[in-house]
Amino acid sequence: MRAFRLGLAVFVGTHAIPGAQAHLVGLSTAQGQFFGDTFALTIGFAPGDAQQLLPEEHRPKGPWTPDGFQSARGLLLWLAPQLWQVHVDGKPLSPREVRVNLLPGDTVSFQLLFLRPREGRKIILRALKLGELPPSHRQLIVIENQSGSQRVQKLLTAQDDTLELELSAEGAIATNAKDETSGSTGGPQTFGGFLKLGVEHIWTGYDHLLFLFGLLVVCRTFRSTVAIISCFTLAHSLTLALATLDYVNLPSRFTEPAIAASIVFVGVENLLRRGAEPRGRWALTFAFGLIHGFGFATVLRDLGVGAGGKALTVPLFAFNLGVEIGQIVIASLVLPIVWRLRQNEKFDRHGVPALSAIVTVAGVFWFLERTVFA
């Protein structure tokens, strides 16, 4: 009974966290391109993030409908010039044209068109509104020349919201920080940013963590634990790469419910086997790990990684490495506690089923949230 109360407290505590579900890290994009003397900057936000940038009294209480978006267009056009600050050789530029659209796929697109002085060489771009979004928000900015053959990119945060670049006399992007593996500039910043993003994603990806916990709570040997973690890692790494490369594409409306269903399956199986370790669970882990990999890939696709086959290798490797580091840290903290508790016969008899019940209930909650109540 004590184990059940403890499990119930953990469950309630987890769901008391505002928005405690998968993919809490806010993601947005900014893409800049030079067209002769024009510099076009296109910023993409999820509607929920765009709404947070509006005055509180004008924020809608639910998702934007097409009519609701049209009603808010005036405010969004007012907001657009405030999103970015652009300086050329120390002189501020003001956009000569502003556009706002709600794109298919539920993305709010802001487009700012600037007239770049012919003699301008040094350009400084600063995202002004990241500090008004949750601290975990990240924005990937990619700047390319007219042909798209040269680009500079950086993953921005509220603490590091500025990108600097220089243009040659011919208007080409000039920089010394070249990432040879991806064909893009700004490699070190991008590697570190995507590494951190991977760690944050797994640490705030409660569905991924709960799935892994449901698998490991019944493991009795170090060998079986290593097998489970290795199969999960191999599987989600495979589909993460394939989905980011766009060889396989599974929409999130299918991926997210399937991830929740995998949690329910594992929790129920634990209960039916009364906490005993199921045989051949490595195969089940691999199969469900493939589904979870599509969930990881959603993060990179939302940031435009791999679009056009560019700037892919370093972000993909760094993000996946971050996921693995975060996963290992969590496992190294949780598993010794679970193994120690399993030495107690009462925990083995009552605690493991109670925890498995929590896993099942959480999975059912997420499944309903992502299907019936979506």
- Average pLDDT of the chain, as a whole number: 79
Q: Which of 122, 156, 186 is the last residue of a domain?
A: 186
**196 falls within a domain:** no
**178 & 253 share domain:** no
In a shared domain, residues 124 and 83: yes
Query: What pLDDT sits at residue 285?
Result: 92
Domain tally for the chain? 2
Domain boundary pick from 132, 151, 186:
186
On whether both 51 and 19 belong to a single domain, the answer is no
Mean pLDDT over 64-87 rounds to 89
Residue 223 in any domain: the answer is: yes
Q: Is the pLDDT of residue 260 over 50?
A: yes
Q: Phi then psi for 43, rounded to 5 degrees?
A: -115, 130
pLDDT at position 236 over 70:
yes
Residue 250 and residue 221 share a domain: yes
Same domain flag for 141 and 244: no
> Is residue 154 located within the same domain as residue 247?
no
The pLDDT confidence band at residue 304, using thresholds 50, 70 and 90, is low
> Region 75-90: what's the mean pLDDT?
92
Q: Assess whether 212 and 316 both reside in one domain.
A: yes
In a domain? residue 198 = no
Per-residue confidence (pLDDT) for residue 113, from 0 to 100: 94
Of residues 177 and 206, which shows the higher confidence score? 206
Residues 55 and 172 in one domain: yes
Terminal alpha carbon distance of the chain: 35
For residue 83, tell me if it sits in a domain: yes
Residues 68 and 182 in one domain: yes
**365 or 121, greater pLDDT:** 365
Q: Please give the residue range of the domain that contains residue 335.
A: 2-23+205-370
Beta strands in the chain (DSSP E): 27-35, 38-45, 84-88, 91-93, 97-103, 107-115, 122-127, 138-144, 151-156, 162-167, 173-174, 178-179, 184-185
Residue 294: predicted pLDDT: 87
- Give the tokens for residue 351: 């605690």
Question: What pLDDT score does 25 carry?
Answer: 41
Per-residue pLDDT band for 21 (boundaries 50, 70, 90) equals very low
Q: Side-chain half-sphere of 263: how many Cα atoms within 13 Å?
A: 29
Please report which confidence band the pLDDT of residue 4 belongs to, taking 50, 70 and 90 as the band edges.
very low
Proportion of the chain above pLDDT 70, given as a percent? 81
